[in-house]
Structure 1
Amino acid sequence: MHIMEGYLPAAHAIGWSLASAPFVGYGAYRIKRVVREHPEVKMLLAASGAYVFILSALKLPSVTGSCSHPTGTGLAASLFGPTITTVLSAIVLLFQALLLAHGGLTTLGANIFSMGIVGPFVAYGIYRAMRSLGGGAALAIFVAATLGDLSTYAVTSLQLAVAFPDAVSGIGGAAAKFLGVFAVTQVPLAISEGLLTVIVWNLLTKYSSGEIAVLDKLKRRIA
């Protein structure tokens, strides 16, 4: 879920950019290290980035100043961990802002925080927790992708509420209103994304099982 160009006050835009910057920097370090040590995962990394780009470009108009869409970050987070997914999301969001008028440069930091940081961390945490408890990979991927998407929309609602609190009920009331409006489109989108991600995951495990095994070992050491 993207906040559109110029919609946030300048102080908010700068604040979200500063909050997102350390995650992007560490994620870039992680990508460089993983690719250097295991160049065989490059194609899987590219495929994960393409998945984020394609799904997050499928936008539906939502409340003024935003739009609803799948995020695609659950797959990358489950494969590579959340911080690498942050960088993939940042690249996707930048290209979409420049080429598709989707999101924006002034709201890039806020969109990275919701879609590229919170969503991937939630998805990764759920996936690892369910797998460690003995849950099947397909179910873990479905829940991770679905809730990762929903957490992104929840954070976007909070970002908009902080920027534009309700005159009577304040930030909490505004957040509840944004959540209620977004839910109409975002909940079915999130469930659909979860189902599609399971299909893609099954294909990857069939044709790239060796690379996935390498990534599983890496994730146990560093997220």
Structure 2
Amino acid sequence: MMAYLIYAILVIIVFLLNLNGFLRGAKKLQIDVVLRSIIIGTLIVSFLTTGWKYGIIAVGIALVSIRFTRPIAARAASKLLSVPKGKSDKYIGLPPKALEKISKRLDIVLPSNPNHFDEVFQSADSAEDALFDYCESQPAVKTVMEDFQVSRKDLKEIYSKLIAAGAGQWSCGHWVPASALAYPESLKYVLSRRGSDIEETSFNLIMYFEHGSFGIGI
């Protein structure tokens, strides 16, 4: 009985850990540390109170829960972040695995050693090429590109402008400037607003990937 209680606690805490990762707030890091500490403590308790076999099962449940509670946590975060709160049911879900991997590569962090800048920028360029390859491989996205007569070069320019305008951030599992180009609805929105306020466009894209609407209450 104790083992099952521990398993349930682990699933709940892992879910909260994933949920915290999708939310905004100044105390995200502190909350993350607390939740991770609780998970580690719960695993230790499992080994001490139920034996090593159940302890190993607990570790497995924690690892599996990280993956399987993530989509649920993303949708829950979308609900919590929605305006008005809790009334959005338009969240598009997490990005496909291929796009998610590319997005993680695009979220670059400059190293403290300037000698490694070139290496980081080369990696970023490679990730951008992978993003544009992905976009061109999606029939619906390719159709939007053809309808608006935009090229790969245009996508690169738009991506850079979105980054400069503040869209270079994560929103409910999406690296916004990448997903903006990789989904037909968001790409159509971006292209239809060429020449408009790019900062407003960036904000609306963040809202779109957060709760499914381009802007507040739209």
TM-score scaled by length of structure 2? 0.25
Q: Name which one, 1 or 2, has greater alpha-carbon Rg.
A: 2
TM-score scaled by length of structure 1? 0.25
Greater relative contact order: 1 or 2 (C-alpha under 8 angstroms, separation 6 or more)? 1
